[in-house]
Amino acid sequence: MDGKALAARVREEVARDVAELGSLGLATILVGDDPASDVYVRLKHKDAAEVGIRTFDKRLPADTPQDEVLALVEEANADDGIDGLLVQTPVPGHLDEFAILSAVRPEKDVDGLTPHNAGLLYLGRNGHIGATPLGVMRMLAEYRIPTAGARAVVLGRSPIVGKPMAFLLLQANATVTVCHSRTEDLMRHTLDADILVAAVGVPHLVTREMVKAHATVVDVGITRTDAGLVGDVDPSVADVAGHLTPVPGGVGPMTRAMLLHSTVRAARYRRGLLPLP
């Protein structure tokens, strides 16, 4: 499944929406100087600029106290020029990440990490949802992968990928199993999957023996190695899978495009064009 090509189409849609809505803004808050986070933030700004979304790059030193981080979130919440707002995670260890993420106004919470938006997803009344699971669902729809009645297995249970992924697949009427670091006999579960989503971060964890013939395999995992970016899925899985997302060029570009899509959604919430449940 070609995430790169589909992402290009999503970006075209977003560019049209931006032209229609007028000025849009996306702000990121980065605390500290984690190099990977720095790369992600830069990419978000580049992507947004390309579709005509204004960006605000807010940075604080690694030792910033909690109240100062919260003050910056409040400032961005109150700024009318900012439609989408995200705090790059992980934040440094001395900070209360849950409190910081929860302080983002739900309308602006493009990562879907506030209790409001996460709760809406749980209740099946979607508001903002993280870009990665959204991108995966868009790819499954695009490739007409049947989800109703399908057995879906999600590897990983993080709030940003695994859990929202599982809830979206459940909403799409799949029978969902969530596996994680304490799951015993992973293969017993994965072999059952019509749709297998790997969001772990262990290179080539999923081997061909673990995949049912013709299954759809979505590789969310990204690990940086000397040889480049490596996914959770071993390349030999291509011999058995019916559909497979490559790394790079699969979920990554879709995630980037769907963040822009979510920024448009945030603008619609904020302008009263779409109600946030």
Applying CB under 6 A, the residues found at the interface with ligand NAD are 132, 155-158, 160-162, 179-181, 183, 186, 199-202, 205, 220-223, 251-252, 255
Residue 6 or 179 with smaller CB distance to ligand NAD: 179
Minimum gap (Å) between residue 178 Cβ and ligand NAD: 9
- 222 and 229 Cβ atoms separated by less than 8 Å: yes
Minimum gap (Å) between residue 135 Cβ and ligand NAD: 7
Residue 120 or 179 with smaller CB distance to ligand NAD: 179
Q: Is 111 a catalytic residue?
A: yes
Residue 250 or 270 with smaller CB distance to ligand NAD: 250
- 85 and 29 Cβ atoms separated by less than 8 Å: yes
Quick one: how far is CA 3 from the chain centroid? 14
Residue 220 or 233 with smaller CB distance to ligand NAD: 220
Catalytic residue among 17, 109, 111, 234, which? 111
Catalytic residue among 17, 58, 83, 88, which? 88
Q: How many CA atoms lie within 13 A of 269 on its CB side?
A: 21
By CB atoms closer than 10 A (0-12, 13-18, 19+), residue 94 is exposed
Query: What is the rounded distance in angstroms from the CA atom of residue 152 to the CA atom of residue 270?
Result: 34
Query: What is the rounded distance in angstroms from the CA atom of residue 231 to the CA atom of residue 4?
Result: 16
Minimum gap (Å) between residue 204 Cβ and ligand NAD: 12
Q: Where are the beta strands (DSSP E) in 32-114?
A: 54-60, 84-87
Minimum gap (Å) between residue 250 Cβ and ligand NAD: 7
Query: What is the rounded distance in angstroms from the CA atom of residue 173 to the CA atom of residue 33?
Result: 41
The set of catalytic residues is 44, 88, 111
